[in-house]
A and B are shown apart, each in its own frame.
Chain A
Amino acid sequence: MVTVRRPRTPSTGPFTTARGLLPLIVVCTFLFALPILMLVIGAFRNAPPGLPAEWSFDAFTRTYTDPASYETLKNSVLLSGGGTIMATVVALVLAFMVSRTTTPLRTLVTPAMVLVVALPPLFYAISWGMLGNPTIGLLNTTWRDLTGSEGTLFDVNSWAGLLLVATVKGAAFSYLLLLGPFRAIDRSLEEAAQVSGAGRLRTLLGIDLVVLAPAITGVVILNFVIGLESFDVPLFLGTPAGIDVFSTQIYGYITNSSPADYGGASALSLLLVVLVMVLVVVQWKVLGRRTYTTVSGKSYRTEAWDIGAWKWLGTAFILAYLLVAILLPLLQLVLGSLQPFFGGEGVYSLTNYETLFNEPATVTALQTTLMVALVGGLIAMALALLIVYAIAHNESRWRRLLDLLTWLPWAVPGVVLSLGIAWTYVSIPGLRNLYGSIIVVMTGLVVAAIPIATRSVQPAIGQITRELEEASRVSGAPPMRMFFGIVLPLIMPSFLAGWFVVAIVISGNLAIPILLSSAQNPTVPLLVYELYTQGQTARAAALFVIVLGALLIGLVVMGGLSALLRRRFNAAPDGPGGTLPDDPGNAPVPQVADQPEPEPVGSR
């Protein structure tokens, strides 16, 4: 018997072997898993990060016997549960009206929803915080002017306010996820029900809702998870009313107690992480590991249902939503930013903007944020691209590990992530010098953006058929040359779009910098929060308007760029797959994705 020496498996391309995957697994473990591991270790230590400590259950006993913790748990569940139910109902009504009826103004809904999803949660926190301010908010002053009464119509710093804003944001998210399944319902199912004698309403409730049940369940769980992880809105609107949820309580443990109670914060974080992970696993079971359902290619005959006079009620509903979700907050933010003092008498002026631009700290923060958004966004996209590409090409079983690792940041709320990163950088000797630097903030922002970045490159990579890569290898291209010469150019439009989206998400993120930024390098969201809590509301609004303005400029640049790219890619008048005389008509041409599906952006 001759023993054959087993040489190591040769690699046919980048990331195909376990060996090729190793560096990526190391990086991802460091970025995604280490913070959580450090958090767990930290929860069992009886001293703040960086100090000598002993193992102890102290933090756990303290946190888990404190009734306040269960109050927080109750609040979190109530807020995200209530918000999810209302958001799903609103989303279902809107999705139904848009996809199945002739309701006037229905075409406005989808673009509006994309906008609502894209606007950072911070936008809603600050604008609704101003709008529903009991004494000087636009809503209440207008009410008083109109009725002459002295009362308050609506105080946003309350359960009602929290739920309203959660519903508005969640509805947009659910709507975009439900519209696809709604459109994809096989009409023959409905016709069969109607032929069998079911009325239209009965068909809607008995057939459509049942068919949609899996999709709705998935969206409900997803929304619930996002609700549990939400930070900005509860911080702005809940804290003043004394309503604490998980994320704000964790933050409170660190900022409101002296010395900061890192152990308590970590112990509470673990409860939240476990809760979220259970939900994520349940959601995988329901949705099959997809976080969104795409519209299927098959199109059915669309016959819009004329719902008679009800359609005017529908229009009113759409208008009310647009008012609450976009028009009023924007109006309040811009008006507020033009007042020298929020709610004070006086002429509208640009004083706030002048002050902001004359303050070196603000200008630095704007520059820092722009830099972090662009560089961090690029890093997140590059990392996401490598991860997605590697998972698609690797043939070893290690790719499952990588796949699992990338789902970690999704299941960890921003505050918890930044807490874990704080533990990591303070506890590990070599990394300690970096603590408080912008690099640490950027690391956190990159990790937080990975789920969105991954989802924006996934469809593009999926659309590149393996033959395109193989043709390049056979033509004489080494692996790297193939990646940069073929793969990268092909996904460039999606990559740029994803980069832009990720940059928006990063520039609006408050949860990461609030724990990781030092006073020397705040990002804009942190500055907005500080101004707001210091009572400089008008100036905070002005700062946020500047951010929105920058986004608008970015959007225009992006639009121009993608139009340019599209022209380069699809120069042919017919475009790919055009039918020419001798075309059998089934040429499987890889389509370069113009634009990914509306992504669940800024969902936290």
Chain B
Amino acid sequence: MSGVRIAGLVKEFGGSTAVEHLDLDIAPGEFVTLLGPSGCGKTTTLRCLAGLEVPTRGEISIADRVVYSDTAGTFVPPDKRDIGMVFQSYGLWPHMTVAGNVGYPLKLAKVAKAQAREQVADMLGRVGLAERIDQMATSLSGGQQQRVALARAMVNRPTLMLFDEPLSNLDAKLRLSMRAQIRELHDSLGTTSVYVTHDQEEAIALADRVVVMNTGLIEQVGTPRELYRHPASAFVADFMGFQNILQGTVGDVLAGGYVVGVAGTNTAVRVAGAAPGPVGTPVAVAFRASHVCVNADRSADATRLTGRIQASTYLGSCMRVLVDLGGALVRAQVDEGELHRFGPDDLSPGHEVTLSVPAGQVVGLPGDDGATGTPAPRVAATVTG
């Protein structure tokens, strides 16, 4: 039994390729987010799942039923796929009431009127719009409209729920509560969900598993924690909010870790874990600004990086410091509570500081071999859930 199986999916538009090659298995009841920048192919993948686009090649099955296969010539149209979909701009029909919108899938499925009414009322109750049932759909506010759209997509208990950046038109506060509501409905109704977003926080908060996509290919698949702690490439690290990604080479291999010489500087960073190769192997290191410890004293130490402050910005909760290591820039962060450790001018531009990063917080990534400036080679991952 599988929720969704995508094998060898390719989608080309005219001359350009939106999805280059995609394999993905999703377990029944699983919540998967497709995360990536615009143009990475995530929305195209979703639309292929919905049947709103015809793939160029590959095979897609939903709940063990093949809905698209280029070799068998199968294409199940969207109305026969038993899916629900929530759109970015809600897609509510302005000539219908809230009840009319939510009840539409039931009407098409020829559900008996009395039962349909009951289901509509139940669904609207779940999204907290029971009292709006007879209003015109588009007279509601944005957040309410999106909840109506959610109710409409789920009312007929589809086997697969698709979300196309449903929260991007809402304001930040509303986004949080809608997010919780979406996950809650997913859990209580037990559907399989695929959710497209470009917001890593949203992807992490919602998903059982996150699929990071880039230029039509999968970069990495994993649980939110895996991705957050152990990005597999510079692209994913950047997307997961690692402010510092430094290129270099393996300088020394130690017990339980290795040292990376940062390119263009004479400083080195310690990384925990097995080295990717012998001394000289190109490698990149990534770490978060919040994990960098800034010290005003200049006690030289092998584990410390020395540099000069180039800029500092007070953000209220913390001070952001940009440090020049002499060839590479490192972003560091000093919490407000820690600022008392420094003198009045210690963190102003021009001053020298030392930085230290715990080896356990540094992630080693496949290095740039120097030929290109683009992130590390991608992994066309085949992952089974």
Listed in ascending order, the chain A residues whose CB lies under 8 Å from chain B are 4-5, 7, 9-12, 465, 467-468, 470-479, 481-482, 486, 489-490, 568-584, 586-590, 592
* Residue interface bits B143-159, CB-to-A below 8 A is 1, else 0: 11100010011001000
Known interface pairs A4-B71, A569-B94, A590-B94; A584-B171 also in contact (CB < 8 Å): yes
CA distance A11 to B84 in the complex (A): 20
Q: Do A572 and B136 have beta carbons less than 8 Å apart?
A: yes
Q: Is B77 an interface residue (CB 8 A)?
A: yes
Once bound together, how far apart are the Cα atoms of A375 and B171, in whole Å?
A: 50
List chain B residues, Cβ under 8 A from A478.
Answer: 77, 79
Partner of A568, one of B52, B77, B95: B95
Q: Is B87 interfacial (CB-CB < 8 Å)?
A: yes
Within the complex, the shortest CB–CB distance from A99 to chain B, in Å, comes to: 32
Question: B94: which of A4, A477, A581, A592 is its contact (CB, 8 Å)?
Answer: A592
Residue of A whose beta carbon sits closest to that of B54 = A10
Contact (Cβ within 8 A) A581 B93: no
A432 to chain B, nearest CB (A): 43
Give the size range of B's interface with the partner. Answer: 35 or more
B169 with A584: CB separation less than 8 A: yes
Residues of B with C-beta under 8 A to A468: 91-93
CA distance A467 to B86 in the complex (A): 10
Question: How far is it, in angstroms, between the C-alpha of A571 and the C-alpha of B138 when the chains are bound?
Answer: 10
Residue of B nearest to A489 (CB): B95
Nearest CB on A from B100, distance (A): 11
Q: A473 touching B79 by the CB < 8 A rule?
A: yes
Q: Are B139 and A572 closer than 8 Å at their CB atoms? A: yes
A599 to B125 alpha-carbon distance, docked (Å): 46
Q: A476–B88 contact, CB under 8 A? A: no
Given known A470-B52, A474-B50, A584-B170, contact A465–B77 (CB-CB < 8 A) = no
Given contacts A468-B91, A474-B79, A486-B93, are A589 and B152 in contact (CB under 8 A)? no
- Asked if B51 is an interface residue, CB under 8 A from chain A, the answer is yes
Contacts of B135 in A (CB 8 A): 572
A and B contact pairs by CB, cutoff 8 A, 20 listed: A5-B71, A7-B73, A10-B75, A465-B91, A470-B85, A471-B91, A471-B149, A474-B52, A474-B79, A474-B83, A475-B152, A477-B79, A482-B79, A568-B95, A569-B136, A577-B138, A584-B169, A584-B170, A586-B169, A592-B95
The residue from A570, A577, A584 contacting B136, defined by CB atoms under 8 A apart: A570
With A476-B156, A568-B95 as known contacts, state yes or no: A481 contacts B108, CB within 8 Å. Answer: yes
- Those 10 A-B pairs whose CB atoms lie nearest each other, nearest first: A572-B139, A7-B73, A10-B75, A467-B91, A580-B141, A471-B91, A583-B141, A476-B108, A475-B105, A473-B78
Question: Within 8 Å of chain A (Cβ to Cβ): is B279?
Answer: no
A472 touches B52 (CB 8 A): no
Contact A581 B87 (CB under 8 A): no
Task: Choose one: A474, A481, A568; the contact of B78 (CB below 8 Å).
Answer: A474
Taking CB atoms, residues of chain B closer than 8 Å to A10 are 54, 75, 77
Q: Contact between A12 and B78 (Cβ–Cβ < 8 Å)? A: yes
Q: Is B243 an interface residue (CB 8 A)?
A: no
Q: Which residue of A lies closest to B85 (CB)?
A: A474
Asked if A473 meets B174 with Cβ closer than 8 Å, knowing A572-B139, A576-B94, the reply is no
Q: How far is the CB of B173 from chain A (nearest CB, A)?
A: 8
New A-B contacts (15) at CB < 8 Å, excluding given A475-B108, A477-B104, A590-B94: A4-B70, A5-B73, A10-B54, A11-B77, A12-B54, A470-B52, A470-B85, A474-B50, A476-B79, A478-B79, A579-B141, A582-B142, A584-B174, A587-B89, A589-B145
User: For the complex, what is the distance from the CA of A78 to the CA of B136, rounded to whole Å?
Assistant: 57
Please determine whether A472 and B104 come into contact, CB atoms closer than 8 angstroms. yes
B105, A467: Cβ atoms under 8 Å? Answer: no
- Residues of A close to B70: CB separation below 8 A: 4, 7
Contacts of A490 in B (CB 8 A): 93-95
Q: Which residues of B contact A588 (CB under 8 A)?
A: 89, 169
What is the CA–CA distance of A575 and B94 in the complex, to the nearest angstrom? 10
| Minimal beta-carbon separation of B187 from chain A (angstroms) | 22
What is the CA–CA distance of A490 and B105 in the complex, to the nearest angstrom?
A: 18
B140 at the interface (CB under 8 A from A): yes
- Name, among B52, B109, B144, the residue most crowded by chain A CB atoms within 10 Å (CB to CB): B52
Closest to B110 in A: A476
Say if the beta carbon of B53 comes within 8 Å of chain A: yes
Measured in the bound complex, the distance between the Cα atoms of B71 and A579 in whole Å is 51
* Contact B95–A12 (Cβ < 8 Å): no
The interface residues of chain B lying within 8 Å CB-to-CB of A581 are 141
- With both chains docked as a complex, state the minimum distance between the C-beta of B86 and any C-beta of chain A, in angstroms: 9
Contact A587 B79, beta carbon cutoff 8 Å: no
CB neighbours of A582 from chain B (8 A): 141-144, 171, 174
Which residues of B sit under 8 angstroms from A571, Cβ to Cβ? 136, 139
Q: A588 CA to B141 CA in the complex, in Å?
A: 11
Smallest Cβ-Cβ distance to B47: which chain A residue:
A470
Contact A476 B109 (CB under 8 A): yes
Q: Which residues of A contact B79 (CB under 8 A)?
A: 473-478, 482
Closest to A467 in B: B91
User: Which residues of B from 101 to 146 have beta carbons under 8 Å from A?
Assistant: 104-105, 108-109, 135-136, 138-145
Give the Cβ gap from B120 to chain A, nearest Cβ, in Å: 13
Residues of A within 8 A of B104 (CB): 472, 475, 477
The distance from the CB of B171 to the nearest CB of chain A, in whole angstroms, is 4
